Each structure stands twice: as structure tokens, then as C-alpha cells.
Amino acid sequence: MKRFTQFLLILLIWHAMACRNQNKSVTEDTDANYNPIVANSVDRDLDAIKEEGVLRALVVYSSTSYFLYRGQTMGFEYELLERLADDLGLKLEIVVSNDLDAEFEVLNRGDVDLIAHGMTITNQRKWEVDFTEYLYLTKQVLVQKKPDNYRKLSWKNLKKALIHDPIELIGDTVSIRKNSAYYERILSLSNEIGGDIVIDTLDSKLSTGEIIDMVANREIKYTIADENLAKINASYRPILDIKVPISFSQRIAWVTRKKSKNFKSAVDEWIQKQRKTKEFGVIYNKYFKNKRSFKRRVNSDSYSLKNNQISKYDGLIKTYAEELNWDWRLLASQVYQESKFDPSAQSWAGAQGLMQVMPATARELNIEDVSDPKESMRGGTKYLKKIYNRFKNIPDETDRIKFTMASYNCGYGHVLDAQRLAEKNGLNSNIWTNHVETAILALRLPRNYKKPFIKYGYVRGSEPANYVSQIFERYGHYKEFITLE
């Protein structure tokens, strides 16, 4: 009995030690897999995003992702984001990245919910963030400049002047951003070829397109770029050689937080469907394959990456914006809404010119030629000021401008009716968004426009509502692209 008791005691001690070791192993394993970046990231998923009603996306201001051309906001990512936001029933809010090295931090602290520019999927990056379904496949290539007289050189001499194999980079310098997939690739390549490639790290604020331009301008010797970006940027700079591959095919995707599993699933499902559509191919080709359009953009004065300019009428718009005491970029957005800066534009209702002045208004304002940009701007802004002065009772300046623009679109009387209806329905008649805007939308229905206090009757309320909304949305983009001098 004594021996049995001793045996039982030994067995209990052994079991206790085994359990302690097992727990220690589990703890050590948990500590090894603990990711403080993910653990401390904001806990915000699809439900919270939908409750707020806003999709915040971080984009890069570049020649393919997000830019302004002839007053229109464009870009591969921008067009896709508009479609994604619409599919999810969300309002799109663009945030421009000002530091490519800090993007994961911006995402994980909840400033944005999506990094929407082409990122190469790598295992190193997966430790910190999640990647969506891939948007497209590409590979990395070396970007180098041909000799200035390359057209006069024989093929043999031209061949001697260029690198044709990555192994020739041993001992040479390649300039890239540090926290880019290109940096990771150069480190791996150095290991693969058994020789050191010197890495010159560049400012994280530089886009790939800007770095490619630095090679063309001989500010740096070599860089690495995704092949589709290299091809479209080299299309108007034939002095660049982009034929040397640096990697195999790689997947390019957007980025979400690791905690945003449901949001990632929704975006993944959307991307999978989009890749199968004809429209997706059209958008991709528009920004990465249509060389003629790309050349036309980069050579245009109305291209935001080239000039701090919206249109060729900026000077005229600035002059008349001063008379209104408005930000000229806001007035420019209205001009784009009216005519897309086409002085010969004419609507089905007979409105003409940059400001789409109606014939009766033109006669009232003594406009002899509505197609003359100066006459149109003079008359249009004079009419705006007249309406603006009628809304002196609106305390908020932005609201006052919105009332003015809505009246310019559908008529002062209809906006007064909307104010009356708003007040009757318990809304604030001095606030546009979600108040008078809601009332003017309701005036399309007989039960509202036939009320005895409504003096001007039916109005297609979606037109002034969309008119104001789109002008201010575009104005937000203009403020991102165009700085005040």
C-alpha cells in the first residue's frame, strides 16, 4: 500500500510537470505569433463602415491612379472605387497618400478602410495587413535610359550601352523607395545572383511615375517598376528601355486591415465579379494600354500632374470668382458641371456657353454672344450674385452657396417652395443637405407640389440635388489637385 501511494504521488508530480510544460509551450507559441501591430489596430469592419455610410480609400496621386485632366477626375483606382462604393451603397471619400511608407499605419489606425493603389502581394507585407483578390498580374522590370543619341547608334553599340541581364547590376546602383516591393525584390535578387546591388533609397513621397521620369531626366541611373506602369510611362519617353525583367509574374491587389474580415470578403467578391466584366478590361486598357490617350494627357496644359491648372479658362474663372468672393476652384467645378469647359456647348433646353445661360437670361443680362467665354462668365456670375444676394438670411456661407447653385439650376422660385415644404415637414429651411435638399426631391410628387402653399409646382428635384452634390464633390477633388497661389 505504501509503494502504491508513492507510485501515485510520482504519477501526479509527473502529470503536473507535463501540464506546466505543455502550457509553457502554448504560451511560448502564442508569444511567437503575437502581432502587436494587428492587435492594436482599430476594430472596424463592414458593419461599422456601412453604418457610417462612407468608404474611405487611400490613393496615390499619380498618372494612372488618381489625377485631374481637363477638369475631370480620372484614374484606374478612382474609377474602380466609384463602382465599388456604388455597389456597397456607400459614399466615396478619397484620401490622398502623402507618405507611401506610412500607408499601413494610416490604414491600421482607422483613418481609411482601404489602400487602393496597386500593391504587390508579398509574404512580408501579409504579416501586417491583408490583401484583397488580385486586380491584375504584372512583373517587375528594370527601367534604364538609352544613350541620348541612341537613334544614330548601330544595334551592336546600343546593345553594349544597356544592361540585358539582372546579373549585370552587381556592384551598380538602383534607386527605389525603401518600403516598396521593389526594395524587397532587389534584396532577393542580390541573394539569388550572389552579388551585392547597391540600393539608393528615395523619398517615400515619390510615385513610381515620378521616379521613372527621374531616370529619363538622368537624375538617377536605374529604377524598378511594374511592367504595366513602365510601359505606359515609357510610351511618351522612347528613350527609356524597360525590357529587362527583374521578377516573375506577381499579383497586384488592394490592402485591408486584418481585423476587417467581412469588409475584405465583400471587396474580394466584388473584384472577382469585376474581373469577368468587359467594363473592367476597358478601364484597365484606358490607363495602362492606351498610349495615345496617355500621351495626349501628359502633353496637355490641363493635366494636374503637369500644371496647377484645371482648364484653359482658369484666369477668366479666377477673375469672376473674386466678384463673388468664392474659391475659384468651386466656381470652376460649377463651370465644368454646366459645360465641361466647352464654350460651344448647348443644352436641349437652349442654354449655351460655358455657364449655360438661357436665352431669356442672356437678354436680361445684355449678353450678345453666349458662346463667348468672357461674356458667358460675366453674365453667369452676375446672375449667380443676384441669386446669392437673395439668400442673405442663410447664416452658413456654404449653405448659402448651395442654395444659390440650386436656384441657378432649377429656378429661385422652386427653391423657395422647397424651403416652405421643409419648414412644414419639420426640417430646417436654412440648411441644404438633408433638409431643403430632401424637400426639393419631394417636389416631384403630386401630393407635395399640389399643396396650397407651393407656388411654382412640379420640379424634377433630383436635378438640383445632384447638381449641387456633384459640384461640391468635384470641388473636393479640385482642392486635392490644385493649390491656391
* Active-site residue set: 338
Nearest Cα residue to 231 out of 186, 294, 280, 189: 294
**Using CA atoms, how far apart are residues 351 and 361, in angstroms rounded to an integer?**
9
Beta bridge pairs of residue 225: 141
**Using CA atoms, how far apart are residues 382 and 341, in angstroms rounded to an integer?**
18
Strand 54-59 and strand 91-96: pairing?
A: parallel
CA distance to 127, 195, 259, 265, 348, per residue, from 34 (Å): 10, 35, 14, 24, 64
CA distance to 121, 133, 249, 253, 268, per residue, from 126 (Å): 8, 13, 18, 12, 16
Contacts of 94 (CB under 8 A, 6+ apart): 57, 59, 66, 78, 81, 476, 477, 480
Strand 250-256 and strand 114-120: pairing?
A: antiparallel
In 192-239, where do the E strands start and end?
198-202, 222-226
Helix (H, G, I), strand (E, B) or coil at 202: strand
Residue 8 in grid coordinates: 501515485
